[in-house]
Amino acid sequence: MCRSVLPLLVTLSPALLLLLPDYTNTQEEHWKDYKYGRQQDSEPPDKKEFCSWKCLLFTLQWPGAFCQNVNNWTIHGLWPQGVMDCCRCWPMFKSDVQELEAQLNEHWPSLLKSQLLEDAHISPSCDRPYKALVPRLGEKLHIQCVTDEKEREVWFQVKVPLSHNLTVGCDHHGNTKPPPPHGHPCPPDTPFYYFPIDHQQPQTPCG
């Protein structure tokens, strides 16, 4: 992982500071959880008039059950930390970023890519669990899992804290909410799986 994501973000423009519409073909129900950065348990709209933030949270998602015809890590979003507490008066319309659509379709797939993982011999598998990724991805990144029907921990998301200058790493723990119910930090002492993508059976790629 490069230490700065500035070149990528400059290419995609400051509009990425807003959660963008459905360019990644995210399934409707999953998308609603994130639309405009809102959650059901968010604070009332008049909680705060203005936002102040220290860190950005750049989130990459393994598309598995969420996207069709996508075969690599994709960008889930880029948010100022604590945005869930901000004013709800910011409307977001597709027309606001319409002129960026061609660039987004080309560049929206991920910064992480798979080469970094392949170089570390980390590849999707139904049979091979992983115990730790810190030596390869670094301790500044936060990996998230979901628990499947067989009680296996399955890796599906990476969160990258960014400072104001867009370098990787930012102390944001004092300004965070608990993770949403569909994901949680991958347990440090429990092996977890990095499942391959199966577009025919996206919810159960490994049975």
Where are the strands (E) in the chain, listed by range? 56-61, 74-80, 129-130, 142-147, 153-162, 184-185, 192-193
pLDDT tens digit sequence for 64-74 = 655 556 677 77
Q: CA 162 to CA 185: how far, in whole Å?
A: 18
Mean predicted confidence (pLDDT) in 10-36 = 34
Cα–chain center distance at 116: 17
| Amino acid at residue number 146 | V
Is residue 153 scored above 80 in pLDDT? Answer: yes
CB 81 within 8 A of CB 57: yes
Is 81 a residue whose pLDDT tops 70? yes
Q: What is the mean pLDDT of the segment spanning 6-23?
A: 32
Mean pLDDT over 172-193 rounds to: 71
CB 36 within 8 A of CB 86: no
Q: Contact, 74 vs 67, CB < 8 A?
A: yes
Question: What confidence tens digit (pLDDT) does each residue in 88-143 have?
Answer: 666 667 787 788 777 766 655 544 555 667 777 888 889 998 876 665 566 677 88
Query: pLDDT-based confidence at 21, cuts 50/70/90?
Result: very low
pLDDT attached to residue 127: 92
The rounded percent of the chain whose pLDDT value lies above 90 is 2
The span from the CA of 186 to the CA of 14, in Å, is 31
Residue 144 in this model has a pLDDT that exceeds 60: yes
Average pLDDT on 143-164 reads 87
79 and 56 Cβ atoms separated by less than 8 Å? yes
Q: Which of 82, 110, 67 is nearest to 203 (CA)?
A: 67
- Encoding tokens for residue 11? 């290419």
pLDDT of residue 27: 36
Higher pLDDT, 24 or 63: 63
Fold held by 6-193:
Ribonuclease Rh; Chain A (3.90.730)
In the chain, where the domains are located: 6-193
Prediction pTM value: 0.56
β-bridge partners, 160 = 58
Which class for 118: exposed (0-12), middle (13-18), buried (19 or more C-beta within 10 A)? exposed
Question: What's the pLDDT score for residue 161?
Answer: 84
CA separation for the pair 57, 126 (Å, rounded): 29
pLDDT of 39 reads: 41
